[in-house]
């Protein structure tokens, strides 16, 4: 992978789509390219963290609903 | 009026009521207009017995028409007609022979305004279609993973509840923006237009759901409004339209980038399923582990190959090789030494033999003797021996004394 790992954004700041897209690229490069062992281990660890991040985003996600009003946005709680 | 053969005076007997009625029935049923007719009027004497068939009368100021609707058609009605309701009924005119009554066998009933609305719908649809508003190339793709989603619907309707449940179940990562509006009545079309514009201008969602639950065609009429159609076409975000039930088609459905049969289906079409997302992550995790494993295996393999080569070069191996060489050399040295010893031994023996051959002892053993003076001088010559001299004679195994005979005539002395 061309970007040095140290230049990548912190995983906590990634959205689900960003994390999954990076994971896909990372797995692809780990599968196809020759890295040094150190690089491979760093990629592997980042990959695991990305996968874990994706899963925990899904686990913790609560639909955020906001309503457009004339003055701005307000949280919307649907009536059950 | 031309005389009918049935009533010919030449016939001997009158025809039966049944024959006459059948004749009339055939006559009515052979008339194309009467076999495909819409009649409008007000319902009265409505009844629905246990059989499920509907019986009623349609009347206006001047006349009334008996009607029947069979159960299978009645089951398809969206709403039961009521007495006093202005309706339009479609069907065929025929005769109920037992009662001797002509009546309408209805297969469709719609409320009176519906026909005009439908004509209006068809005209608008044709016009917008001619303008290219429904063209497939205008349809924008729905993003597979929207991050934000706008909803244009009533804040109190079942449609919103269904949509929010579906979104929470499938894709809870979404940011949802609700642009509430009425979806029914005269203020619905401008309300829907304003909601679409507000979403596009203020929050720019990745996709917009335009939704309403089921209802009568009048209830859904706002979605056949030209202003709504043009607002959908002008939306920056792609619009998924989920209005009414599966069988309801509105102009909004045709203009929208995607048509969903129901509000719930619209929410499903707008979002990926989180089960699929989890499977995708799982699949990537497995590929990650496999490729790391194979990377480690390759590294391990090349390490052990290298390690083997390294060991070949290590001092210990070199030492062992040297030691082995040394062993070999010393073995060869010992062998060589032994060999040379034997050689020397043989030479020595030979020398000893030669030496022994030269030794006076050997001569003595052959019988010779050595004569010496008491002073130890060997007597080589008669000159050295004088009568009376004591001499020593050495033979092979020892020595004994002798004395030169006094009478001896020694050649050199005499």
More confident residue, B13 or B97: B97
In contact, B288 and A27? CB cutoff 8 Å: yes
**A18 pLDDT exceeds 70?**
yes
CATH number for the domain including A60?
A: 1.10.287
Mean pLDDT across the stretch B330-341?
86
In contact, B193 and B227? CB cutoff 8 Å: yes
Mean pLDDT across the stretch A48-60?
90
Mean pLDDT across the stretch B140-148?
91
Question: Cβ contact (<8 Å) for A40 and B295?
Answer: yes
Q: Which residue of A has its CA nearest to B165?
A: A63
Length reported for chain A: 80
By residue range, what is the domain housing residue A60?
A: 5-72
Contacts for B204 with CB less than 8 Å, ≥ 6 apart: B148, B236, B237
Cross-sheet strand order for the sheet of B398-403: B370-372, B390-395, B398-403
* Strand ranges inside B74-171, DSSP E: 86-96, 101-111, 148-153
CA distance B44 to B47: 9
Question: Cβ contact (<8 Å) for A58 and B295?
Answer: no
Give the pLDDT of residue B39. Answer: 94
**A66 pLDDT exceeds 90?**
yes
pLDDT > 90 in chain B, percent: 51
In contact, A66 and B177? CB cutoff 8 Å: yes
**Mean confidence (pLDDT) of chain A:** 84
CA distance B336 to B89: 132
Q: Which residue of A has its CA nearest to B294?
A: A31
**A80 pLDDT exceeds 60?**
no
Instruction: Give me the helix-helix angle, B274-313 and A16-32, nearest 10°.
Output: 30
DSSP state, residue B3: P
Question: Cβ contact (<8 Å) for B164 and A78?
Answer: yes
Q: Please check whether residue A79 lies inside any domain of the structure.
A: no
More confident residue, B313 or B125: B125
Q: Please check whether residue A19 lies inside any domain of the structure.
A: yes
Question: Cβ contact (<8 Å) for A63 and B278?
Answer: no
**A58 pLDDT exceeds 90?**
no
Give the pLDDT of residue B59. Answer: 92
Give the pLDDT of residue B414. Answer: 40
Question: Cβ contact (<8 Å) for A26 and B291?
Answer: no
Nearest to A78 among B145, B160, B296 (CB): B160
Residues of chain A whose beta carbon is less than 8 angstroms from a beta carbon of chain B are 15-17, 20, 23-24, 26-27, 30-31, 35, 37, 40-41, 44, 47-48, 51, 54-55, 57-58, 61-68, 73, 76, 78-80
**B239 pLDDT exceeds 90?**
yes
- Chain B residue numbers touching A24 (CB-CB < 8 A): 284
DSSP H helices in A1-80: 16-32, 37-60
C-alpha separations of B50 from A55, B28, B140 in Å:
57, 30, 52
Max Cα distance, chain A (Å): 58
In contact, B268 and B166? CB cutoff 8 Å: yes
Q: Please check whether residue A44 lies inside any domain of the structure.
A: yes
Number of domains observed in the structure of chain A? 1
- Chain B residue numbers touching A62 (CB-CB < 8 A): 168, 172
Give the pLDDT of residue A1. Answer: 46
Main-chain dihedrals φ then ψ at residue B127, nearest 5 degrees: -70, -45
Lowest mean per-residue pLDDT among B270-279, B323-332, B350-359: B350-359
More confident residue, B234 or B296: B234
Question: Cβ contact (<8 Å) for A24 and B167?
Answer: no
Question: Cβ contact (<8 Å) for A67 and B295?
Answer: no
- pLDDT band for B188, please (50, 70, 90 cuts): very high
More confident residue, B205 or B348: B205
CA distance B157 to B244: 12
Q: Please check whether residue A25 lies inside any domain of the structure.
A: yes
Question: Cβ contact (<8 Å) for B174 and A54?
Answer: no
DSSP state, residue B199: I
CA distance B23 to B219: 46
Indicate which of A26, A78, A79, A80 best probes the interface with B, i.e. most B CBs within 10 Å of its own CB.
Answer: A78
Give the pLDDT of residue B260. Answer: 94
Mean pLDDT across the stretch B65-91?
90
Indicate which of B174, B192, B288, B297 best probes the interface with A, i.e. most A CBs within 10 Å of its own CB.
Answer: B288
CA distance B239 to B269: 11
Main-chain dihedrals φ then ψ at residue B335, nearest 5 degrees: -55, -45
Mean pLDDT across the stretch B1-8?
54
The per-residue pLDDT for range B171-187, each reduced to its tens digit, is 998 999 999 999 998 89
Q: Please check whether residue A13 lies inside any domain of the structure.
A: yes
- pLDDT band for B326, please (50, 70, 90 cuts): confident
Q: Please check whether residue A20 lies inside any domain of the structure.
A: yes
Question: Cβ contact (<8 Å) for B292 and A40?
Answer: yes
pTM recorded for the entire structure: 0.57
The C-alpha of B121 sits at a distance from chain A's nearest C-alpha, in angstroms, of 31
Residue B64 backbone zone (phi > 0: left; psi -120 to 50: alpha; other: beta): beta
- pLDDT band for B245, please (50, 70, 90 cuts): confident
Mean pLDDT across the stretch B208-228?
90
Q: Please check whether residue A40 lies inside any domain of the structure.
A: yes
Q: Please check whether residue A77 lies inside any domain of the structure.
A: no
| C-alpha torsion sign, points B248, B254, B260, B266 | negative
**Mean confidence (pLDDT) of chain B:** 88
- Chain A residue numbers touching B178 (CB-CB < 8 A): 65-68, 76
Question: Cβ contact (<8 Å) for B164 and A30?
Answer: no
């Amino acid at each position: 992978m061309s970007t040095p790992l140290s230049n990548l954004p912190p995983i906590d700041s990634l959205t689900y789509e960003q994390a999954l897209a990076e994971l896909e690229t990372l797995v692809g490069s780990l599968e196809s390219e020759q890295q040094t062992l150190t690089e491979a281990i760093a990629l592997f660890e980042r990959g695991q963290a990305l996968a874990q991040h994706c899963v925990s985003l899904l686990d913790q996600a609560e639909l955020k609903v906001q309503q457009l009003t004339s003055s701005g946005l307000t949280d919307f709680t649907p009536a059950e | 009026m031309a005389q009918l053969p049935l009533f010919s005076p030449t016939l001997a007997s009158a025809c039966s009521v049944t024959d006459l009625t059948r004749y009339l029935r055939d006559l009515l049923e052979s008339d194309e207009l009467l076999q495909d007719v819409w009649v409008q009027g007000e319902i009265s004497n409505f009844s629905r017995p246990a059989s499920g068939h509907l019986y009623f009368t349609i009347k206006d100021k001047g006349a009334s028409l008996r009607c029947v609707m069979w159960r299978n058609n009645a089951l398809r009605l969206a709403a039961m007609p009521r007495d006093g309701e202005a309706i339009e009924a479609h069907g065929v005119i025929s005769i109920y022979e037992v009662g001797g009554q002509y009546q309408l066998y209805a297969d469709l009933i719609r409320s009176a305004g519906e026909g005009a609305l439908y004509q209006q719908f068809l005209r608008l649809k044709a016009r917008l279609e001619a303008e290219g508003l429904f063209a497939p190339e205008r349809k924008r793709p729905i993003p597979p993973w929207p991050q934000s989603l706008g909803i244009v619907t009533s804040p109190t309707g079942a449609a919103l509840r269904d949509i929010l449940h579906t979104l929470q179940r499938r894709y809870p990562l979404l940011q949802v923006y609700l642009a509430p509006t009425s979806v029914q009545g005269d203020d619905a079309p401008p309300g829907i237009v304003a909601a679409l514009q507000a979403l596009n201008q203020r929050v720019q969602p990745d996709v917009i759901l335009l939704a309403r639950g089921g209802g009568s065609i009048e209830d859904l009429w706002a979605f056949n409004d030209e202003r709504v159609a043009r607002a959908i076409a002008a939306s920056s975000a792609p619009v998924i339209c989920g209005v009414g039930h599966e069988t309801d088609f509105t102009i909004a459905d045709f203009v929208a980038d995607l048509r969903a049969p129901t509000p719930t289906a619209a929410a499903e079409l707008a979002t990926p399923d989180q089960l699929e997302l989890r499977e995708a992550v799982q699949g990537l995790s497995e590929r990650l582990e496999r490729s790391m494993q194979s990377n480690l295996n390759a590294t391990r393999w090349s390490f052990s190959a290298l390690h083997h080569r390294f060991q070949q070069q290590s001092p210990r191996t070199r030492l062992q090789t040297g030691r082995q060489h040394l062993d070999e050399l010393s073995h060869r040295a010992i062998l060589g030494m032994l060999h040379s010893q034997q050689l020397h031994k043989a030479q020595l023996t030979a020398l000893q033999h030669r030496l022994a051959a030269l030794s006076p002892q050997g001569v003595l053993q052959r019988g010779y003797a050595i004569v010496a003076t008491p002073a130890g001088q060997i007597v080589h010559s008669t000159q050295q021996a004088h009568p009376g001299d004591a001499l020593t004679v050495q033979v092979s195994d020892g020595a004994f004394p002798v004395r030169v005979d006094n009478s001896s005539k020694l050649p050199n002395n005499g």
